Amino acid sequence: MRLYALAVYLFLYIPIGIIALFSFNAGRHAAQLTGFSLQWYGKALDNPFVIGALKTSFTVALISATLATLCGTLAAVALQGMRGRARMLYDAALYVAVMVPGIVIGIATLIALVTVFDAVNPLLLQAFGAEAPQLGLGKGSLIAAHGMFTMALVVVIVRARLQGMDRALLEASADLGAPPMRTFLQVTLPQIAPAVLAGFLLAFTFSFDDFIIAFFVAGSETTLPIYVFSSIRRGVTPEINAIGTMVLVASLLVLITAQMMLRRRAR
């Protein structure tokens, strides 16, 4: 079993290690290591298209993760108080949202958004005339799609922390006359704060790294994964390897930070 586990890990991480290694290539060919240099990192950071795509990805990830964290935390608190068949129904819908493939979410979100735009835009045109704003695909649709997808992750993480809370604290707060909102702010929220922050970091990472959903709903916007995909269609270069390595390191740092927060709170 140890050899099997080792083989699985090697199969997963050797290609990633090769990308990181060839990102330091001094030559122009991605598959020929002729020396070590940091030049491709400098070129990637000086590329205006890379910086523009990076800003778009960061903006979308930050806003969508914030919305997902707010809505997901409130949903987790509400679901924790539910019982019976209603809770089973919501639990099933929650886990289905996590398990559904990204391509299905992307197609479904695209169809839903286009349907809404087709219904709302004529109404806006009638109400405001020729100067009426027209809804379309772009940053707004990216934020909505990523926020919807990552909210399920936040709910799962926060609910796991809520289930480990001591209910006596909430009962004591109620016995002392605290209203529900004050109990939430002074008792519940401090207890679940690490899980909320971990959910935010995971939501940010998933949104920042997402390609499949963004490919369907981005419209004219270009996120960093979309830029990388468009670039490798013309061939893989050390610059692409450098971009992939930087994104990998940033994502790992965020995920490790979230995991450390969850473990520290659990201890």
pLDDT digits (tens, 9 = 90+) for 143-201: 988 988 889 889 888 888 887 777 777 777 777 777 777 777 777 777 888 888 888 98
Query: What pLDDT, in 10s, does the model give residues 204-233?
Result: 888 888 888 888 988 888 888 888 888 777
Average pLDDT over every residue of 31-48: 78
In a domain? residue 42: no
Rounded mean pLDDT of the chain?
82
In a domain? residue 43: no
Question: Which structural domain, as residue segments, surrounds residue 213?
Answer: 51-266
Whether residue 264 is predicted with pLDDT greater than 80 in this model: the reply is: no
- Token digits of residue 102: 């990204």
Which domain CATH number covers 71?
Answer: 1.10.3720.10
Average pLDDT over every residue of 81-98: 78
* Distance in Å from the first CA to the final CA of the chain: 30
Higher-confidence position of 165 and 62: 62
In a domain? residue 182: yes
Q: In the prediction, which pLDDT does 65 show?
A: 93
Q: For the residues of 190-247, what is the DSSP string, one character each?
A: HHHHHHHHHHHHHHHHHHHH--HHHHHH-TT---HHHHHHHHHTT---HHHHHHHHHH
CA dihedral 112, 115, 118, 121 (to 10 degrees): -40
In a domain? residue 244: yes
In a domain? residue 190: yes
The confidence band for 262, taking pLDDT boundaries of 50, 70 and 90, is low
The confidence band for 25, taking pLDDT boundaries of 50, 70 and 90, is confident
Task: Give Cα separations from 108 to 111, 145, 149, 175 (angstroms).
Answer: 5, 10, 12, 47
The confidence band for 266, taking pLDDT boundaries of 50, 70 and 90, is low
Average pLDDT over every residue of 257-265: 69
The proportion of the chain whose per-residue pLDDT surpasses 90, expressed as a percent, equals 5
In a domain? residue 37: no
Cβ burial of 201 (10 Å; 0-12, 13-18, 19+) is: buried
Backbone angles phi, psi at 167, to 5 degrees: -65, -20
Q: In the prediction, which pLDDT does 67 show?
A: 93
In a domain? residue 1: no
The proportion of the chain whose per-residue pLDDT surpasses 70, expressed as a percent, equals 94
- The amino acid sitting at 161 is R
Q: Which residue has the tokens 């450390």?
A: 260
In a domain? residue 126: yes
The 3-state DSSP class for residue 159 equals: helix
